[in-house]
Amino acid sequence: MKIAIVNYNAGNVESVKNALNRLSIEPILTDDAEVLGSADKVVFPGVGEASTAMQFLRERNLDETIKNLTQPVLGICLGMQLLCEFSEENDTKCLGILPYKVRRFESKDLKIPQMGWNNIFDLKTNLFEGVEENSFVYFVHSFYVESGAETIAACDYGIKFSAAVNHKNFYAVQFHAEKSSAVGERILENFLRGLNT
């Protein structure tokens, strides 16, 4: 099984690689369109700011490469947000694969970013096989993806938002599965070994 991680200026590429290593998988870190296209599965990580990341992807033509992927793809954190249509973070036009907008948390009572462990619920699809409702996963984010028909895990932080979405072959999680202890490992394992190519 060939697993590729989209290698770009995202902060958590190494963390995702480490997490996959712990699952006895040696992923390929690459920005090569051909290598990404021929992988069995692709992980699209991300930590950082949306417009800078999008600019980086466009300059390397990675935006087109990612859009054209047909195998299961897992976006993580900023990776999830970049898969959406638009982000309020510096009014950034994103990849437009997931039919959602990325909003900024607005709250007088809550601290922004949401940083820490929150529970996810209304779990759907095989991505969450064996994961109990209300399991805790680790979030760090100031922006969120709205909830909608493609939401496969919900979370509540002042507002109900998408902790995970699935649209065609694209899966995405807002939380850091690579830092979410045993629950995160199970979700990664489900993505890597459980979903059919």
Partner 1 sequence: MLAKRIIPCLDVKDGRTVKGTKFVNLRDAGDAVELAEIYSEQGADELVFLDITATNEKRRTLAELVKKVAAKINIPFTVGGGINTVEDIDILLNSGADKVSINTSAVKNPNILSDAAKNFGSQCVVLAIDAKLVENVWKVFLNGGRIETELKAIECAKRGVNLGAGEILLTSMNADGTKNGFEIELTRKVSEAVNVPVIASGGAGTEEDFVEVFTKGKADAGLAASIFHFREIEIPRLKRYLKKRDIAVRI
Among 8, 100, 144, 157, contact with partner 1 (rule: CB under 8 A): 157
Contacts of partner 1 in 7-26 (CB under 8 A): 11, 14-15, 18-19, 21-22
140 binds partner 1 (CB under 8 A): yes
Give the DSSP per-residue string, 100-158: -EEEE---SSS-SSEEEEEEEBS--SGGGTTPPTTEEEEEEESEEEPP-TTEEEEEESS
Other CB atoms closer than 10 Å to residue 40's CB: what's the count? 12
178 binds partner 1 (CB under 8 A): yes
The 3-state DSSP class for residue 95 equals: coil
Other CB atoms closer than 10 Å to residue 105's CB: what's the count? 17
The 3-state DSSP class for residue 176 equals: coil
State the nearest-atom distance from the C-beta of 36 to partner 1, in Å. Answer: 23
115 binds partner 1 (CB under 8 A): yes
Nearer Cβ to partner 1 (15/55)? 15
Other CB atoms closer than 10 Å to residue 106's CB: what's the count? 10
State the nearest-atom distance from the C-beta of 71 to partner 1, in Å. Answer: 25
99 binds partner 1 (CB under 8 A): no
State the nearest-atom distance from the C-beta of 189 to partner 1, in Å. Answer: 12
Task: Please state the φ and ψ torsions of residue 29, each to the nearest 5 degrees.
Answer: -90, 120
Contact residues toward partner 1 (CB under 8 A) are 11, 14-15, 18-19, 21-22, 47-49, 111-119, 136, 138-142, 156-157, 176, 178-182, 184-185
